[in-house]
Amino acid sequence: MNILMLTSEFAPATGGVGTYAEEIAAAATRLGARVTVMAPDYAQANVEDVFLPFDVIRFRGSLHSMRDLPAKIMLARSKVRGGHYDVIHAADWPFFIPLALSRWRTQARVVMTVHGTEINETQTPLKRLAIRSAGVFGPRTQIVANSRYTRDLFSERFAVDARRVSAVQLGVSDFWFGMRRPRDVVRHALRLTPDRLVIVTVARLTHRKGHLLTLAALRTLPDELRKRIVWLVIGPDGEAGHVAALRRLAEEADADVRLLGALPKEDIRDVYGAADMFCLTGLPESSGRVEGFGLVYLEAAAGGLPSVATAVGGVPDAVLADETGILVPPDPGSISRAIADLADDKERRALLAAGASVHARNLSWERCAAATYGLAYRSDRVPQPSTEAA
């Protein structure tokens, strides 16, 4: 199978779409497909592309803006006309219209992936008119959503029969099951005594990720439990006002809160092995941004962590209630009770951790690529258990 992927986000840019594009392209290659990815160059050489297992062709550009649409239309037209592909895949919405306007030039199967937030962002009258005029979601288009929530949201917003939309959950990379430093070594490096209960959060420090909600929940815990807990917060800064408020409130809280900033993924994997639970309490936003899936929950699950999560957006596909973690409403009281329940019940933590590990192993990127492109896949193939480094 010969696959062309068009994406407006790719390494070295960080983000969910970039991760999706790289991981599904690599997985399809491992399943025997020949994959070519068209991605922005971000005004740099991108010499590491040669180490990827698939071909990458860079076009001049950066993160998408609407003024880039004409160039993307010309790019899609040229590339579709110049190659022989079985599948052409628009990995994110900026390439939906360009691909739709070019599909008459090819007999290839057309695939478009919706991730969540862009569904709401394309509801302005002008964007809806452009999408309708281009026939973006016409009969030749296969629509793939990253969760059941995203599938249902798309069907509702665009009045498309839900049976035409496939919900294909994302995968988790084998990396997160890989070798990590021993738990006691990592905890010693972080100055964590054996009696401390470690909660970890990995997310950009933005309002919608709910850091302030988690902090409010920690502050309502009984004194004895709160003083046992260490909350490790990993992620780059987001909105300046939100970050400033989080730092101030963390300093004022009678709790051990450590804002570690952005860390290499190898270090994050080590921290997962040293922690006791994962906690990310996202918020619904009036701006239209949504959590379409929640890949980081799977990465933590691969590290053997149960999750405390808020049931917003597509998170219930990533965290299975009472199987891989605890799902609660986005309010401090509910989050506080969930943390306390897991903190006081070591056996339940272990059961949920085991369930989380199984769930993560079942959601491989090869499974995602096979379901998206129609490739053969052995469902019994699972990652090997992680081994701590000596």
The tens digit of pLDDT for each residue in 168-214 reads 999 999 999 999 999 999 999 999 999 999 999 999 999 999 999 99
| pLDDT for 387 beyond 50 | no
> Residue 114, Cα to own-chain centre: how many angstroms?
13
Asked if pLDDT for residue 382 goes beyond 60, the answer is no
Give the CATH number of domain 2-167: 3.40.50.2000
Q: pLDDT-derived band of residue 381, with 50, 70 and 90 as boundaries?
A: low
Which residues share a beta bridge with 59? 40
User: pLDDT at position 388, please?
Assistant: 54
What are the C-alpha distances in Å from 382 to residues 112, 169, 171, 306, 375? 27, 16, 12, 19, 17
Return the closest-CA partner of residue 114 out of 135, 94, 84, 99. 94
308, 334 in Cβ contact below 8 A? no
Confidence of residue 296 (pLDDT cuts 50, 70, 90): very high
Determine the straight-line distance between the first and last CA of the chain, rounded to whole angstroms: 42
Q: What is the pLDDT of residue 82?
A: 75
Q: What is the mean pLDDT of residues 16-20?
A: 91
Q: What is the CATH number of domain 174-362?
A: 3.40.50.2000
DSSP strand E in the chain: where? 2-6, 34-40, 55-59, 87-90, 109-114, 141-145, 165-167, 197-202, 229-234, 256-261, 277-280, 307-310, 325-328
**What does the alpha-carbon distance between residue 132 and residue 159 come to, in Å, rounded to a whole number?**
12
Query: pTM here?
Result: 0.89
Give the burial class of 367: count Cβ atoms within 10 A of its Cβ; 0-12 exposed, 13-18 middle, 19 or more buried.
Answer: buried
Distance CA 47, CA 69 (A): 26
pLDDT digits (tens, 9 = 90+) for 44-80: 999 999 999 999 999 999 888 888 899 999 999 998 8
**Contact by Cβ (8 Å): 369, 34:** no
174-362 and 2-167 share a CATH fold: yes
Cβ-based burial of 377 (10 A; exposed 0-12, middle 13-18, buried ≥19): middle
Domain boundaries, the chain: 2-167, 174-362
List the one residue out of 371, 367, 365 whose CA is nearest residue 295: 365
Distance CA 66, CA 63 (A): 10
